[in-house]
Structure 1
C-alpha cells in the first residue's frame, strides 16, 4: 500500500470556469435586485469620511481570496442547497429591516445573502476555506453610529476625571464642561468613532495577515477595539490641556483636528509595532484537506450541471422579498383628519413660553401646543406617522431633541428614566435642555404603538416592522412634553409633567383614535 501524498495535486482549473462564472453572475444579479440597498451603502461611503474605506472592502476581499487560490483550486465546487436556508433567513431579515427603514440591518442582510449564495453555489467547503475573506465583506456596511453617544460619554468622563486629577476645577453638565480657561463640549466629532472604525478594520486585517493562530488574531482584534477608545479619550484630554496651558491659543480650529489625527497615527503605529513581536506570517498557514480533489471526472460534470438549478433557486428565493416589499410600499396612504387634542384635567391652552422646538421630521400629522394650570406651563408636541416609510418614520436618527452645536439650545443630559404617571411606574426618555437665554426645560418623550407606551427604539422598530409586513396597522405617535425648571425646583417640574401626562393621556388617545379612524 502506497502512502498518500502530503500535498493534494492541483489539476486543471477547467472544472472551475462554469461554477465561477455562474457565481459571479448570480452575485451581480443579486446586487441589481437589491440595488437600493447597495446604493444606500455607497452613498454613506461617499459622504462620510468615517466610512470612506467601504470602497476598498470588496477589492480587499477579492485579493484575499486570490491569495488562497491554490488552496481553493483543490476544492471541487459543488452546489449545496443548505445555503438556501441562510439565504431565506437573510431575506426575512432584509424584509423586516426594509419595512422598518433600518438601513444598517438591510445592508447586513444583503451581505449575508451574497455569502449564502456563494455557499449555495460553491458548497460549504469553499465557504470554510474562504471564511475570513467572505466575513470581511461585512466591513463594507457603514455601521457603528449607535456608539456615538456612549463614546461621547466615555470621552467626557475620562477628560473630566483627568482634569480633576491635575487639580483643575471643572463644572460639568452632561457632555458640556467648563474650566477656568474656557468652555468645552464633547460633540459627535469627539466621540472617536472614526478612529474606532478605522482601527478595527485595519486591526482585523492586520491580525489575519500577520498571525496564523486564531487565538492571536482574536486577541489583536480585541486590542484594536479597546486601544482607540482609550487613545481618543487621551487625545481629548491632551487637546484641552494644550489649549488651557496656552491660554486658549493652541489646539483650536484646524490644529485641533491635526493633533487628533497625528496622535491617532502614532497610536496605531505603536499598536502594529507591538503586535509585530508575535508575528507569524513567516509560517505557512495550516490548510485543512478538502473533501474532494478537483479532477475531470463524471462527478465534476454532474456538480457543474447542478449549479444552474441552484442558481435559479437562489435568485428565486432572494427575489421574493423585494417583490413583497414593493407591494407593501405601493399601498395608498389612508385619509387622515387633523390631529386634535382637547384640554382636560383643568389644563387650559396657554401662551408659548419657550423658543425651543424639537426636531422630529416627516410626520403625517403634527400638533404643538402650550397648556397652563395653576401657574405651571407645559408644552405638548405630538408627531403622528400613519405608516412607516423612508423619510417618515416614528423612529429615525433625524428625530432628536436638538441638533449638535445649536446656537440657542444645548442638550445637557438625556437618558431613560422610570417615573410614576397616575400611580403607575413607566419609562420615559428624559432630557434637560439649557437655553442661551438662561431658560431650562425638563423634557419627557415616549412613543405610543399599538396603544402601549414604548421607549426603547430597537423594540419600537421591531414592533412596527412586524406590523408592517403582517399588513396590520403600523402607525405610531411620538408624545413629547416639556416644562421650565430651575435646579432648585427639579422635583416640582417632575411632578408637573407627571400630572400633565396623567390628565391629558386619555385626551391624546381619543385624538389618536380620530386620526387613524378607529
Structure 2
C-alpha cells in the first residue's frame, strides 16, 4: 500500500470563501455608497466624454480577470490582515485633502486605493498579491489625462509644421495656428490625440498582461503603447493637412477628417498588436508568484487566531467613514462675510474707459472686479476673481478657468506660457498669454494667483496649500490677478514694461483688497 504525498495543497473550506467573499463584497458596496459623490464624479465623466467612455468597462474587466484566476485564488486562505488599515487610512487622508482642494482625479485615485486596502484588510495580503493585476487595473477607471492636452497639442503642432517644412511647403506659425498656401489650420483639443493615447494605454496594458508572461515584456509593450500613439497622432495630423492641401481643400475637412483619423489610428494599433504577437507567451503557464528575483512581501503572521471577520469589516467601515464625515462638516460651515471687492488707484494710475471686448473665463468666484486703468497713454485691464473658500465649482484653481474658450469666434490664444519677469525689482513667474482679436487688436496678458499674500503660478502647490489650510481650519481664500494691455510686434517690450510697472504700483492695493474681502 503506497503512502500518500505529504505536501498536498490545503484548500480552504468553501464556507470560508463564501462568508469572506460576501462580506468583502458588502463592504465594497457600502464604501461605494459612502463615497458616492466621488464615484458619481467618475461616472459623470464617462458619460459625457468619449475619451473616457472605457471607464464603464474597467470594473467588469477586473471582475473577469479575477474569474480567470478563480482556481488559483481558491487556494488562498482568506485571512484578515490589519496592516491593510495603514493603506486605508493613508488613502482616506489623501481623499480628504483632494476633496478639500476639489481635485477630483486625486479623490478618485484615493477611492480606488481604499477599495484595494479594504480587500487587503479583509482577505489578506496573499490574496492581494495573487490578484495584483486585476486589482491594479481598477485605477484605469479614473478619468485622468486632461492635463496632457496642451503638451500633446504642442507636440502635434511641432511635428506637423516640421513635416510640412520638410516637404517643402512654406508655413507661417503663431502658437497653435499655422497657415500654408492652400489654407489656415489650428491645432485644437481634438487634435491632441489624448483619446488615442488613453485608448492605446488601456488596451496595451491589458493586451500585455494577457499575452505575455514575462514582466519585462509586459513593461516594454506597455511603454510602446504610450509612445506609438503620440507619434501616430502627429502623423495623422500631418496626413490630414496634406490630403486637404493636395485636394485644394476639398477633402479631410468635414466628417472625413475624423474618419481618416480613426481609420489611421485603428491601423496603427492593429500593427502594434500584430508586431507584439511575435513574442506572445500566452501558451505558457503564469510564472510562480515567488519566481527568482520576485519575492512577494510576507503574509500576515499566522501564529495568532484569525480575528472575527465581522469585527474587521466594521473597523474598515469606521476608518473609511471618518474622512467623508469630516469633509461634510467642513462643507457645512457658513461662509465668512464678504464685502465688495475694491482696489484703490495708486502710482498715478487712474480709472479709465474699457478698451477691449475680451473677457477671460473664470468661474465660481465669490467676488469679481473688472476695471480699466490708464497712465501716460498706456491702458491696462485689471480683473480680480476672489474665492473665499475652496469647494467644487467655486475654486481658485479650476480647469474651467482660462483665457478664452476653444473655438472662440472673436479671440484666439496664439501663445501661452510661464515667463520670468521683474516686478518692483523682484524676479518672479507669471502666466503670460498673447491674444489676437478678430478686429486686429492684440493683448499681452499676465496672470497669477495670490494666496496668503504670496503670488504663485504653480497650480499643484497652490492646490496643496489651499487644501491643507482648509483641513486645518485656516483661511483658504485666494485671489486670481489678471492684467492685460494692448501691444503689437514692434511694441512688445513696451507692453511688458507697462504690465510690470502696473503690477508693482498696484500690488499693495491688491494685497489689501485680499485681506479686506476675507472679512475674518
- For the criterion TM > 0.5, the same-fold answer is yes
Return the offset for 1:378: 0.3
The gaps in structure 1 that reach 5 residues or longer are 292-298
Partners of 1:284 and 1:242 lie apart in 2 by 48
- Any idea what SS the aligned residue of 1:398 has? coil
Please name the residue that 1:436 is paired with.
438
Residue 299 of structure 2 corresponds to which residue in structure 1? none
- Once residues 4 and 420 of structure 2 are traced to their aligned partners in structure 1, the CA distance between those partners, rounded to angstroms, is 72
State the partner residue of 1:201. Answer: 202
Residue 12 of structure 1: CA displacement? 4.4
Partner Cα distance (2:121, 2:100) in 1: 26
Give me the whole-angstrom Cα distance separating, in 2, the residues matched to 1:52 and 1:15.
37
The alpha carbon displacement at 1:87 in A equals 0.2
Structure 1 residues 387-420: Cα deviation after superposition (integer angstroms, max 9, x where no partner) = 1111110001110000100000011111111000
The aligned counterpart of 1:355 is 357
The aligned residue for residue 490 of structure 1 is: 492
**Aligned counterpart for 1:417 among listed residues 393, 416, 419:** 419
1:60 maps to 2:61: yes
Cα displacement (A) at 1:288: 3.2
Match of 2:162 in 1: 161
* 1:122 counterpart residue number: 123
One of 476, 499, 504 as aligned partner of 1:502: 504
Residue number in structure 2 paired with 1:295: none
Counterpart secondary structure, 1:153: helix
Task: Give 1:191 shift.
Answer: 0.2
Contact 2:371 2:382 in 1 (8 A): yes
CA contact (8 A) 1:76 1:300 kept: no
Using the TM superposition, give the Cα deviation of residue 308 of structure 1 relative to its aligned residue in structure 2, in angstroms.
1.5
Q: 1:70 to 1:514 in 2, by over 3 A?
A: same
Give the CA deviation at 1:8: 2.9
Shift of 1:270: 0.2
2:214 aligned with 1:213: yes
Structure 1 counterpart of 2:380, from 378, 381, 390:
378
Moved more, 393-402 or 12-21: 12-21
- Give 1:515 shift: 1.2
CA 4–102 in structure 1, closer or farther in 2 if over 3 Å, else same: farther
In structure 2, how many angstroms separate the alpha carbons of the residues matched to 1:111 and 1:63? Answer: 18
- 485-494 vs 13-22, greater mean Cα deviation: 13-22
Distance in 1 of aligned mates of 2:206 and 2:287:
18
Flag the 1:3–1:226 CA change in 2: closer, same or farther, 3 A: farther
Which secondary structure does the structure 2 equivalent of 1:377 belong to?
Answer: strand
Secondary structure of 1:389's aligned partner: coil
* 3-state SS of paired residue (2:308): helix
Cα separation, partners in 2 of 1:441 and 1:136, compared to 1, 3 Å: same
Unaligned runs of 5+ residues in structure 2 are 296-301
Deviation, structure 1 residue 452: 0.4
Number of paired residues?
510
Which residue is 1:21 aligned to?
22
Between the aligned partners of 2:355 and 2:101, the Cα distance in structure 1 is 36
Whether 1:109 aligns to 2:110 is: yes
Give me the whole-angstrom Cα distance separating, in 2, the residues matched to 1:226 and 1:152: 15
Residues 273-312 of structure 1: pairs in structure 2 closer than 5 A? 273-288=274-289, 303=306, 306-312=308-314
* TM-score after normalising by structure 1: 0.96
Q: How many angstroms apart in 1 are the aligned matches of 2:303 and 2:178?
A: 69
Q: Post-superposition shift, 1:140?
A: 0.4
- In structure 1, C-alpha distance between the alignment counterparts of 2:124 and 2:5, rounded to whole Å: 25
> Retained in 1: the 8 A contact 2:12–2:76?
no
Distance in 1, Cα, partners of 2:363 & 2:122: 44
Alpha-carbon distance between aligned partners in 1 of 2:382 and 2:468, rounded to the nearest angstrom: 29
TM-score by length of structure 2 reads 0.96
Q: Give the Cα separation in 1 of the matches to 2:3 and 2:106.
A: 54
Shift of 1:14: 2.4
Distance 2:3 2:243 in 1: 74
Q: 1:289 to 1:169 in 2, by over 3 A?
A: closer
Q: Could you tell me how far 1:226 is from its partner in structure 2?
A: 0.4
Q: Report the secondary structure of 1:113's partner residue.
A: helix
CA separation of 1:142 and 1:4: change in aligned 2, threshold 3 A? farther
What is residue 83 of structure 2 aligned with on the other side? 82
